[in-house]
Amino acid sequence: MELIKILAPVSLKTYKSLPKSAATLHSKKIAKWRNWVIRGIFTWVMLGGFGVIIWIGPMALMVTTLLVQVWCFKEIINIGYSVYRVHGLPWFRSLSWWFLITSNYFFYGESLVSDYFGILFSKSNVLRFLISYHRFISFTMYIIGFVWFVLSLKKKYYMRQFSLFAWTHVALLIVVTQSYLIIINIFQGMIWFIVPVSMIVINDVMAYMFGFFFGKTPLIQLSPKKTWEGFIGGGISTVFLGMLLSYWMCQYPFFVCPLSYSETEDGLKYECEPSPIFLPQEYHLPETIGKLCTLDFGDVIPGHGGMMDRFDCQFLMATFVNVYIWSFIAEMSPQKLIQKIYTLKPDQQLELYYRLGDSLVNRGYLHPS
């Protein structure tokens, strides 16, 4: 009831009866609590939607990633488009979307398709052609876009047009590259997507909650609403809840197993022998550290801003996770190699088979038959 009273509009008569400073303070309090309610409602809506997408499976996560990528690119390009539209310069928006399609085809067509779906694509001559000549097709698409841009140039506006051409490429670098890394992370195991994303969500929510109820000390001038109390509370909550979430997800192969296409099952396979990093281990801390451990130490989304406001940190986190996986975790996968072998012609596969057999015999791993 108290919350309803605070959120209820204050009548003009009430405002007139209050001093000017008190009326202003009351108005700010109403706006603050109204924003809290709006953010809370849409936070739960987004969390529920995220849970449903995870339940559907990795393909739903990939489709969602691509949709978010397109929306974020649209928000970035709209900023440049507002400048372009003033001067009546042609084709900027069409060119931007063409380069987005070209970039996605280049990134996803080569490594993602050949590494994970090579068996599936090798069954069709048309799809095999797209894999075999992927780079040439990608280059041709880019050259078409570049020639299109040159033909759209207008005198007196060269500098502005080239600036916005660069703007498009920077947007592609920020959005397409990062979303590609997110999908690569998903194929390494859904835990590499869900945990980083959840930690950012936890940090965002808990920092807001601590700042809302306990915040008094401003953090930085760039974001005057952020406080030290929210920053510290959000950081501690992120570490603690992130560890609990990781521990829980490590119990299920569905989350920790790398994804691969199975020809026998004609679909994605979720079963594997979990990597040692997902299994409980006994670690012995140095004595000095052991002693320390014993001490008592928008617009699109109401209340949350635009899509890019919510996913800028997600893109940066995806890059870190991908670098971490390939620097410290990933190993050469026989499954990826098999996918590439299936794209070879039958006589090439036989040649590889005999050469590999001879090599294994010579090294003593196989007995000569």
301-345 confidence digits (pLDDT tens):
554 455 665 667 888 888 899 899 888 887 776 767 777 777 778
Do 159 and 37 belong together in one domain? no
Do 43 and 97 belong together in one domain? no
Question: Domain of 132?
Answer: 58-189+257-272+305-335
Do 70 and 179 belong together in one domain? yes
Instruction: Give the pLDDT of residue 19.
Output: 55
Do 176 and 38 belong together in one domain? no
Instruction: Give the pLDDT of residue 263.
Output: 63
Instruction: Give the pLDDT of residue 157.
Output: 83
Distance separating alpha carbons of residues 135 and 125, to the nearest angstrom: 17
Contact yes or no for 103/139 (Cβ under 8 A):
no
Please count the other Cβ atoms lying within 10 Å of the Cβ belonging to residue 277: 10
Main-chain dihedrals φ then ψ at residue 269, nearest 5 degrees: -110, 135
Q: Is position 216 within any domain?
A: no
Do 139 and 111 belong together in one domain? yes
Q: Is position 50 within any domain?
A: yes
Instruction: Give the pLDDT of residue 202.
Output: 92
Q: Is position 49 within any domain?
A: yes
Do 185 and 313 belong together in one domain? yes
Do 169 and 70 belong together in one domain? yes
Distance separating alpha carbons of residues 215 and 230, to the nearest angstrom: 6
Q: Is position 139 within any domain?
A: yes
Output the CA angle 335-177-67, nearest 5 degrees: 90
Do 148 and 98 belong together in one domain? yes
3 state SS of 261: strand
Contact yes or no for 262/207 (Cβ under 8 A):
no
Instruction: Give the pLDDT of residue 301.
Output: 54
Q: Is position 359 within any domain?
A: no
Do 30 and 171 belong together in one domain? no
Instruction: Give the pLDDT of residue 159.
Output: 86
3 state SS of 218: strand
Q: Please state the pTM of the whole predicted model.
A: 0.74
Total structural domains within the chain: 2
* Ranges under pLDDT 70 in the chain: 1-26, 28, 83-88, 113-124, 261-270, 274-276, 278-311, 333, 335, 369
Closest by CA position to 311, among listed 220, 182, 212: 182
Do 62 and 46 belong together in one domain? no
Q: How far is CA 197 from the centre of its chain?
A: 7
Instruction: Give the pLDDT of residue 265.
Output: 63
Alpha-helical (H) ranges within 8-151 are 12-17, 20-56, 58-86, 92-107, 113-116, 118-122, 125-132, 134-151
Distance separating alpha carbons of residues 208 and 203, to the nearest angstrom: 8
Instruction: Give the pLDDT of residue 294.
Output: 36
